[in-house]
Amino acid sequence: MRALLQRVSAARVCVSGEEVGRIDAGLLVFVCAMKGDADAQARALASKLSRLRIFSDAAGKMNRSIHDAGGRVLAVSQFTLAADTRRGTRPGFSDAAPPDDGRRLFDLFVSELTALGVAVETGRFGAEMQVSLTNDGPVTIWLEV
C-alpha cells in the first residue's frame, strides 16, 4: 500500500458540496491499495503511520507521533497514487488494486488506525472529492509498505 501524508493544521473533504470529513491539527493521508496488497499491508501501514514521529516537540524537533501530538487523521482513498508515468504523457493505473479490494483494504486501514487509538475521519471511497488543507511545516511524506 502507498500513502502520502501531509501534516496539517486543518483539512476537510467534500463530496458534491457536502462536507464528509474534517480535522484540525493532524495528518491528511491519501491512501492507495496496490495490486497484490493484502491485509498485512493495510495493518503495517496503519501501524507505521501511528508511530511515525513527524510532529514537533518542545525543542522544535520532529520527535512526536500522532498520539503524542493529540492529532487526528483525515484518510482519503486515492487510486491515482498508483500512477505509472514512465512512458508517454498519460499515466497508467493498472498497478492499483481492483476497486473491491481497494475499498476493503482502505476500510481495514481505517479500522486498524482506530483500533490503535487514532481518531480518524474519512472521505468517501470512489467519489469525486474536493480536498482542502493547510499544510503545516510544510511536511509531506511518502510511505510505502
Residues annotated as part of the active site: 78-80
Instruction: Tell how strand 130-144 and strand 2-15 pair up.
Output: antiparallel
Cβ pair 25, 47 in contact under 8 A: no
HSE on the CB side for 46, CA within 13 Å?
22
Q: What is the rounded distance in angstroms from the CA atom of residue 111 to the CA atom of residue 102?
A: 14
